[in-house]
Amino acid sequence: MSKHSFPVLKNDCLLRAARGLRTERVPVWIMRQAGRYLPEFRKVREEHSFFEICRTPALACEITLQPIRRYALDAAIIFSDILVIPQALGMQVEMKPSIGPHFPEPLSEPKDVEKLKKGCIDEELSYVYEAITLTRHELDGLVPLIGFTGAPWTLMCYMIEGGSSKTLSKAKSWLYKWPEESHNLLHLLKDAVISHLVNQIKAGAQLVQIFESNAEYLTPDLLKKFSLPYLKEIQRSVSSTITNLGLEMVPMILYAKGSAMVLDFIADMGYDVLGVDWTVAPSVARSKFSEGICLQGNLDPPALKADHETIKRLVIDMLQGFGTQSYIANLGHGIYPDIPPDNVAFFVNTIHEESEKMIKAL
Ligand code: CP3
């Protein structure tokens, strides 16, 4: 429960799955469910820049609701971006059409870290928290609302590379050349991430997801040094802060891309839900974890371009592999802009129908 008073939740299926409680069907949401594959999103984007939408609570709320109006999704995710944290720390970030994020002045050496602002998250990102509170009211309890953040390592990559990169050569070389200074930067980012998550929960987020999308670029050794300790501390610090405030702790989802390598390492970090990408077969992922841990994933996004018969077969394989309890259906990463919207409806409905049949037959 947050500090606000909100409408009663009518569909708590996804929250129950996240907590390892029984569900009568498998809940489903889609990473990047509000986005360019939806014509109604592209229409709003014709009139407003990406970060203008993020910074205007009424627009962020409207875009968050677009996929909820179209599909029987079991959760909404607040419209925002992981790069609002670097912006809050004082960096300039632009979103370039068909290229993606661009930082005109990325961090090029450790002394650049000194320029970053500290302790400014509450104020700088107040628009995110207003958007969350507004969206909770507008949802009227239809489905729970997910808040999110990037993890320190993934944020560090964008701040050094200045945008997306195929190799992360610059960001990774910091870890080898300047390990101590890299830790200083990761430490600063970790504090920002903790504040951002706590604030989102206080504003009304009913689950939170952390995106460590660049975990897959690390060696196991670098992962253990520069990613996992921060992820662990974020989980511990957010849950103790929320509990000390007298609020109810919400489930935390960790999505670390590169499941074939990272899944074993993230098992006992305290997260309620672990995201899985397409590099691990559902049955293999399930066999690694006890019943208590909820798994989320992992349809390969371009599979949504296949015909309905193929999508249905893949959905059934996924449900059989993950099982129908302690499981949240999703893609293995964000949806692509060229996915036909009708196939998303088919995917969502097939998850519900097939899982309901399987649970009834048990
Ligand atoms: O899931 C949702 O519907 C909520 C919104 C959301 C966005 N970005 C909106 C967005 C979420 C959860 C994100 C997370 C995000 N942002 C991640 C982690 C997830 C992942 O994909 O690994 C990352 C790495 C970013 C940074 C970012 N933002 C990139 C690399 C890009 C360009 C690539 C792309 O997909 O367009 C963005 C832009 C972005 N973020 C768009 C949307 C809808 C498209 C921008 C546009 O409209 O021009």
Query: Can you give the CATH number for the domain in which 267 is found?
Result: 3.20.20.210
Assess whether the C-beta atom of 174 lies below 6 angstroms from ligand 1. no
Distance 244 CA to ligand 1 centre (A): 32
- Cα gap 67→259, rounded to integer Å: 27
Mean pLDDT over residues 63-73, rounded? 98
**Is 356 a domain residue?**
yes
**Is 3 a domain residue?**
no
Residue 189 in this model has a pLDDT that exceeds 70: yes
Mean pLDDT over residues 193-206, rounded? 98
**Is 2 a domain residue?**
no
Q: How many domains is the chain partitioned into structurally?
A: 1
**Whose C-alpha lies nearest to ligand 1, atom 5?**
79
Distance 153 CA to ligand 1 centre (A): 17
Residue 241 in this model has a pLDDT that exceeds 70: yes
pLDDT at 97: 87
Residue 105 in this model has a pLDDT that exceeds 70: yes
**Is 88 a domain residue?**
yes
**Is 4 a domain residue?**
no
pLDDT at 3: 65
Assess whether the C-beta atom of 148 lies below 6 angstroms from ligand 1. yes
pLDDT 10s digits, 39-53: 999 999 999 999 999
Residue 1 in this model has a pLDDT that exceeds 60: no
pTM of the predicted model, to two decimals? 0.97
**Whose C-alpha lies nearest to ligand 1, atom 37?**
100
**Is 8 a domain residue?**
no
109 pLDDT tier (thresholds 50, 70, 90) = very high
pLDDT at 209: 98
**Is 19 a domain residue?**
yes
Residue 29 in this model has a pLDDT that exceeds 90: yes
Distance 35 CA to ligand 1 centre (A): 8
**Is 6 a domain residue?**
no
291 pLDDT tier (thresholds 50, 70, 90) = low
Domain containing 206 equals 13-361
